[in-house]
Structure 1
């Protein structure tokens, strides 16, 4: 197996050993530097490590380099967990005659192709327009029903997204978007194969989302995700994951699992995910489909990625349901039985687990008024958490201890991220309570930690 690493996806310190355990020999190709916690596991688990980070190939050369290394290592499969390397790896696998996402990967990366494919299939999507210039954006404003959302067609992590409520915002929003995309490229958070297509934008109407008719309590976000896999063209949904509400402009605060919706509603969500994934025509890959909740139990598609959800989702699913998605996908690429569950997992599982993103804002999107040091080891977590709950820092995605928290900037999405916390709790209800306690109490807790730290 040749594993291609670039930023994004599950924590490599966890994913690399799991992939290695599912194959006889794992070779690693680095397109971005590994986070420090993953360096030792990679050295221990990999038969070879090829480092291209100092001289990353141009988009046109990248696929050739992947193909060449796969042939040199006699790889039976080529795999990536990164959104940004997905297209390059998919095309390399096609050239090599190996399993992979297939040509449908482009429809799962470009939001333009994705929206068009779903609209043509009669699936629920917001009205949209392509944007390549200010003239295009002005036309979209005239043809759509404001407010509208401007986003990158190739982006991830809500980077650059802006809600436009007045026509006077258009020119400034376009400049902001292009600046945010430039910042994303500098942080290796941009598409590796598409080149200049990375500047393609899309404008769409806001989805009138609501949790009414879905949840019987407040606190959950108005969208969900369905985690799953496609194996040789057949879709296998694994579970539905809940979300915390986003903060402007649609920056994610975290996710909650297991999903607390009644089983029939989870199957309703999963069925729309199945139709969406099937329309994209994927081969073998992980999937992460985001769906907005609407009134009267209606749904609207946001997006599907031909890879697993990023950050801690694979670890949460394993903790709750005992399913190792990384190992399953590795086996599927090698033509083996992935060992997936027979159907959608809707039960309570072993525990509740969630991720909380460390941002300098509270749960309502109010930016912090101070810039404390990030000192998680000195925080008195017991004052924030319920009895029986636990919390730990995800080191692959978190700034070093002692880093000054930077201010929250609306429209910069995951570029604001300082870290990720993994929460576990006895029940989903306790998990929800603790997640809000951390989000709304972390600024003060860090101030106290700094005093205790001296």
Structure 2
């Protein structure tokens, strides 16, 4: 049996899901970095396969992977994509390629490559210190989005509409020396009640993209926190094809070799625009793909890394809408004390699952990052029925928090504004 190395960290598919999807086709070797999240889950990973230290040091990791005799490398965490891509290239294994692995994890580098290939015209500028603010703003203009050059989940992602307010914001977040990017804000088209963005899920084999799904999104919670997605997206066929063609052009411009990708597109009045290309499986796409299409996207990603994937069929419209909804944590730091009404939510016709991510007593750090409390899942007769189910869930589900100024109960329907 082949061995598959999975460098693991926060944001990845749970080890049990990886084992369920791939345990019958490969012996799993989990790469454990020096992070609190990975260390906490190391005993779980050890129950499903081998473990090895993962240092992000290129030569050290190459020697360790060679000693394990691995035949493929797949990363599901944004934090591991670059190092996994480099390691795959060093070992001659299927992967995106070193340059592409860097491009999909460096937002400024990615923008530059897309502009050079005339795929995108979105203005952007790198920011490293306080002195660079005026120069970056002169290139990008307002409104703009300030975000880290590396990272995901809307971490430290802010909308800037005023020069001096933006300067003060930049002064607050730039203290640790991390590289940021200031990007042109893309105005979305009126898409209500849907979100004004979508994502394209793709398998790239030897530089040829094969798109297997277009994922619809719910409107973002302020400022840029994602709250869920659904198949099929509510777009006509001609717009779906435009989205696929733009994604193909973007992946080719980045020189992406082999792997599963997740490309986010903003739906503007002038057509779709690239938000960002991610060199990994999109969050929760594995669960959604299994329910909606009988396609195991986690398995697909693993088989691709092993050189055993074939072009997937494009997800067909089954006549139903399959959805996932993530209740966002409050932006103010607090502590979760209770979740009420989840059993009643499971009684709603079409609701198929509720998975809490935090236990009572858990700390909620606050901030602008996408930090879900749970995953609510279901399927509906159509998009209108989906929203009816969510409205009913919003009436039944509530959360109790302990804030610095006292305790509060926040119903699900109000969480996105909390």
| TM-score class, shorter | 0.7 to 0.9
- Higher normalized strand content (fraction of residues): 2
Q: How far apart, CA to CA, are the structure 1 residues paired with 2:115 and 2:394?
A: 37
Compared CA separation, residues 339 and 278, structure 1 to 2 (3 A): closer
Selected match of 2:361 from 398, 403, 410: 403
Selected match of 2:278 from 305, 323, 332: 305
Secondary structure of 1:403's counterpart equals coil
**1:354-394, CA deviations, whole angstroms, 9 ceiling, x for partnerless residues?**
22222245xxxxx79997623367552157x4x2332320x
Selected match of 1:435 from 366, 390, 394: 390
**1:28-52, CA deviations, whole angstroms, 9 ceiling, x for partnerless residues?**
2222445988955x44542x223x4
Q: How far apart, CA to CA, are the structure 2 residues paired with 1:442 and 1:370?
A: 19
**1:127-150, CA deviations, whole angstroms, 9 ceiling, x for partnerless residues?**
112212222222222343312111
Compared CA separation, residues 408 and 102, structure 1 to 2 (3 A): same
Aligned to 1:137: 133
Work out whether residues 303 and 309 of structure 2, in 8 Å CA contact, stay in contact via their aligned partners in 1: yes
Structure 1 segment 316-331 matched on structure 2, within 5 A? 316-331=288-303
Selected match of 1:253 from 227, 234, 240: 227
Compared CA separation, residues 421 and 39, structure 1 to 2 (3 A): farther
Compared CA separation, residues 116 and 370, structure 1 to 2 (3 A): closer
Q: How far apart, CA to CA, are the structure 2 residues paired with 1:275 and 1:131?
A: 27
Q: How far apart, CA to CA, are the structure 2 residues paired with 1:267 and 1:337?
A: 23
1:353 CA drift (Å): 2.6
Secondary structure of 2:302's counterpart equals helix
Work out whether residues 161 and 177 of structure 1, in 8 Å CA contact, stay in contact via their aligned partners in 2: no
Work out whether residues 339 and 399 of structure 2, in 8 Å CA contact, stay in contact via their aligned partners in 1: no
Q: How far apart, CA to CA, are the structure 2 residues paired with 1:176 and 1:9?
A: 29
How many pairs align?
398
Q: How far apart, CA to CA, are the structure 2 residues paired with 1:373 and 1:348?
A: 40
Greater RCO, 1 or 2 (C-alpha within 8 Å, sep 6+): 1
In structure 2, the gaps of 5 or more residues are 402-408, 412-418
Q: How far apart, CA to CA, are the structure 2 residues paired with 1:293 and 1:207?
A: 9
Work out whether residues 19 and 330 of structure 1, in 8 Å CA contact, stay in contact via their aligned partners in 2: yes
Selected match of 1:413 from 350, 369, 372: 369
Q: How far apart, CA to CA, are the structure 1 residues paired with 2:333 and 2:89?
A: 51
1:66 CA drift (Å): 2.4
Q: How far apart, CA to CA, are the structure 2 residues paired with 1:29 and 1:107?
A: 22
Selected match of 2:323 from 332, 354, 360: 354
Secondary structure of 1:84's counterpart equals helix
| RMSD of Structure 2 on Structure 1 (CA) | 3.0
Aligned to 1:26: 28
**1:331-363, CA deviations, whole angstroms, 9 ceiling, x for partnerless residues?**
22222243621xx33x323743322222245xx
In structure 1, the gaps of 5 or more residues are 183-195, 213-217, 362-366, 450-454
Work out whether residues 148 and 206 of structure 1, in 8 Å CA contact, stay in contact via their aligned partners in 2: yes
Compared CA separation, residues 437 and 154, structure 1 to 2 (3 A): farther
Q: Is the aligned partner of 1:154 residue 2:147?
A: no
Secondary structure of 1:100's counterpart equals coil
Aligned to 1:187: none
Work out whether residues 149 and 206 of structure 1, in 8 Å CA contact, stay in contact via their aligned partners in 2: yes
- Higher normalized helix content (fraction of residues): 1
Aligned to 2:162: 166
Q: How far apart, CA to CA, are the structure 2 residues paired with 1:334 and 1:97?
A: 11
Aligned to 1:388: 350
Compared CA separation, residues 176 and 350, structure 1 to 2 (3 A): farther
Compared CA separation, residues 408 and 93, structure 1 to 2 (3 A): closer
Work out whether residues 358 and 374 of structure 2, in 8 Å CA contact, stay in contact via their aligned partners in 1: yes
Q: How far apart, CA to CA, are the structure 1 residues paired with 2:84 and 2:152?
A: 18
Work out whether residues 199 and 263 of structure 2, in 8 Å CA contact, stay in contact via their aligned partners in 1: yes
1:306 CA drift (Å): 0.9
Secondary structure of 1:21's counterpart equals coil
1:234 CA drift (Å): 1.5
Q: How does the TM-score come out when normalised to structure 1?
A: 0.79
Aligned to 2:198: 224
Compared CA separation, residues 34 and 431, structure 1 to 2 (3 A): farther
Q: How far apart, CA to CA, are the structure 1 residues paired with 2:158 and 2:376?
A: 26
Aligned to 1:203: 182
Work out whether residues 344 and 396 of structure 2, in 8 Å CA contact, stay in contact via their aligned partners in 1: no
Compared CA separation, residues 140 and 147, structure 1 to 2 (3 A): same
Q: Is the aligned partner of 1:13 residue 2:9?
A: no
